[in-house]
Amino acid sequence: MLKTFKIGGVHPAENKFSADKAIEKLALPKSVFIPVAQHIGAPAQALVKKGDQVKVGQIIAQAGGFVSANIHSSVSGTVKKVDLATDASGYPKQGIFIDVEGDEWEDTIITDDKLIEKFDTDSKTIIDKINAAGIVGLGGATFPTHVKLMPPPGSKAEMLIINGVECEPYLTADHRLMLEKGQEILVGTRILMAALGVNKAYIGIENNKKDAIGRLKELTASESSIEIVPLKVKYPQGGEKQLIKAVTGREVPSGALPIAVGAVVSNVGTAFAVYEAVQKNKPLIERVVTVTGKSVSKPSNFMVRVGTPVNELIDAAGGLPEDTGKVISGGPMMGKAIASLDVPVTKGTSGILIMPDQDAKRKTSQNCIRCGRCVTVCPMGLEPFLLMTVSERQIWDRAESDCIMDCIECGSCSFTCPADRPLLDYIRLGKGKVGQIIRSRKK
């Protein structure tokens, strides 16, 4: 029996159209917009100004605190301006506009594809390199990786879990990366293990990616410290807590971080970025992005420089289909609908999903028939119908005591509701409010 998490979960149609499409390098854009806040935590501080010449890999914004990340130029050229522009969140964010001229890289970066396996195992050296390279979690949460690698005093990492689940429908970026850059991911995994001082790593992969499981198993055949764990397909298995439960059986307590059960989780994309940073001195300036959708003529996986406008990716995938109704940055379950195709790819962009008109709009919501399906599918064991009602009626103490803050916003409840109720919309509202109340109490 394949492992999986125990409570809840749904099975949306997988629609992985681009699973057999090799990663292509996307042509350089004419200009990029690189936001200074591409991660959770404090925005980075811009180091360049209008008119500066920059090279690929040059640091252009410095981390704004411990929980923050450096930002590097993904292109070479001239800084046009440092200004506000809309990113995928829909809000204007500060960022650096660069006009692309040529493709001149920093000298320290090794640009060939040769695999380098040996590395300095000193934890501090590794973490400093990762910190300098501005690496953040590439699964979508964009939490700065160096912070994860320095567990708070009193807690000790026992294992590393590499997240190759990619449970979001449509997306195939991690899948392709595991197939094509398996060796690099494994070196990255070893580097992360050394940084944490652990001697066990698990790579969790859902069983709909049998080729990737096979490939990584083959590469780790003689290596007992890295174990490939095939998982039963079930959304949201890529959720950190769900993955830890599936792989180890351990349950991260409510309100705690994975380190509470001795686990640190990183995405396969992050492991690859760590490899490039430590072995090739290459900061995080590009990532794999899936461009897909039912009407997209050429669903693809692109290696894209950070800051590239989304419409360049769509053009490369055969152009925007006639019947486009919605464009999503990320997957269909947790991605954000974007209002403009000028927004840039950032470190956290795993995919661009184009949905046709008929799938773009929600159906009218009906009365709750109390079928309990939202309760059954909630992977956190919550009662979404109740959390929606108390949020709607602003009964915040009840929302808090019924664990609204445990919600991981996976969307399984809204997905499954036969009455099409906007459960997660209201729960998000409630989470925001209850979070505010909790923070104000601490002051």
Partner 1 sequence: MSKLLTISPSPHVHTSESVNKIMYRVILALVPALVWSVFMFGLDAVRVTLLAVVACMGFEYLIQRFMMKEEPKITDGSAALTGILLAFNVPASIPSWIIIIGALVAVGVGKLSFGGLGNNPFNPALVGRVFLLISFPVQMTSWPVGIHAQTDAVTTATPLAILKEGVKAGQPIADLMHKLPSSIDLLYGNIAGSMGEISAALLILGFAYMLWKQVITWHIPVFVLGTIFMFQGGLFLLNPYKFIEPVFHLLTGGAMLGAIYMATDMVTSPMTHKGQFVYALGIGVITVLIRNFGAYPEGISFAILIMNGFTPLINVYLKPKRFGGKN
Site for partner 1 in 183-242 (CB under 8 A): 241
Choice between 120 and 420, CB closer to partner 1: 420
Name the minimum Å distance from CB 14 to partner 1: 11
Name the minimum Å distance from CB 426 to partner 1: 10
Q: Which amino acid is at 133?
A: A
CB atoms within 10 A of CB 42: 16
Name the minimum Å distance from CB 302 to partner 1: 20
Choice between 283 and 331, CB closer to partner 1: 331
Choice between 254 and 436, CB closer to partner 1: 254
CA nearest 63: which of 40, 85, 86, 97? 40
346 binds partner 1 (CB under 8 A): no
Please, which residues bridge with residue 354 across strands? 327
Q: Which stretch binds partner 1 (CB under 8 A): 48-56, 196-204, 271-279, 419-427?
A: 419-427
DSSP string, 204-222: EEETT-HHHHHHHHHHTTT
**CA–CA separation, 371 and 416 (whole Å):** 11
> Residue 196: what are its φ and ψ, rounded to 5°?
-85, -15
The interface with partner 1 within residues 279-318 (CB under 8 A) comprises 311
Choice between 25 and 362, CB closer to partner 1: 362
**CA–CA separation, 159 and 180 (whole Å):** 25
Name the minimum Å distance from CB 427 to partner 1: 11
Choice between 102 and 319, CB closer to partner 1: 319
Name the minimum Å distance from CB 359 to partner 1: 7
Q: Which of 124, 298, 361, 393 binds partner 1 (CB under 8 A)?
A: 361
Strand positions, DSSP E, 138-206: 159-164, 201-206
Query: What sign does the CA torsion over 35, 38, 43, 47 have?
Result: negative
Q: Which stretch binds partner 1 (CB under 8 A): 58-66, 212-220, 266-274, 332-340?
A: 332-340
The residues, ordered by sequence, that sit 6+ positions from 266 with a Cβ below 8 Å of its Cβ are 137, 145, 148, 160, 161, 162, 163, 192, 274
The interface with partner 1 within residues 362-401 (CB under 8 A) comprises 362-363, 366-373, 375, 378-383, 385
# residues near partner 1 by CB under 8 A = 72
Q: Which of 359, 395, 396, 433 binds partner 1 (CB under 8 A)?
A: 359
Classified as helix, coil or strand, 348 is: coil
Choice between 299 and 379, CB closer to partner 1: 379
**CA–CA separation, 424 and 429 (whole Å):** 8
Say if residues 185 and 178 touch (Cβ distance below 8 Å).
yes
Name the minimum Å distance from CB 329 to partner 1: 10
Classified as helix, coil or strand, 333 is: coil
338 binds partner 1 (CB under 8 A): yes
**CA–CA separation, 57 and 108 (whole Å):** 9
The interface with partner 1 within residues 1-60 (CB under 8 A) comprises 7, 10, 12-13
**β pairing state of 201-206 and 77-86:** unpaired
The interface with partner 1 within residues 88-127 (CB under 8 A) comprises 90
Please, which residues bridge with residue 356 across strands? 324
Q: Which of 67, 316, 337, 405 binds partner 1 (CB under 8 A)?
A: 337
Q: Which of 81, 200, 217, 428 binds partner 1 (CB under 8 A)?
A: 428
Site string for partner 1, 55-94 (x = CB under 8 A): -----------------------------------x----
> Residue 99: what are its φ and ψ, rounded to 5°?
-85, 130
353 binds partner 1 (CB under 8 A): yes
